[in-house]
Structure 1
Amino acid sequence: MGTVNGIAREIFRYLTTPVTVPDVSDLRPPRRAKNITRPPPPSTSASGPP
């Protein structure tokens, strides 16, 4: 029964502990410089296809 309690405690800890996510907003320019990221698609008109 100890294993089940340990797993439940670990899951509870993962669900209740806030996680800090690293800022990824500055990654796109370096990736574009190395041709890793595709450029955004060209904008199209709001009317849609003819």
Structure 2
Amino acid sequence: MRTLWRILQSRSSPRAAIVSAFLLCGLYFVSWYFISHCLANGLIAF
């Protein structure tokens, strides 16, 4: 996440900002889906 933020700040082009924001949202959605799927199956016990 910090590397994406560093790329976002180092490159001021809007295309790089859009790509990095899309990757960040994609990673967030994949992690949320994986956590909810594992919780639904009971693979993770808190």
Q: Say yes or no: TM over 0.5.
A: no
Q: TM-score, normalized by length of structure 2?
A: 0.39
Q: TM-score, normalized by length of structure 1?
A: 0.37
Of Structure 1 and Structure 2, the greater helix share is in: 2
State which structure, 1 or 2, has the greater radius of gyration over its C-alpha atoms. 1
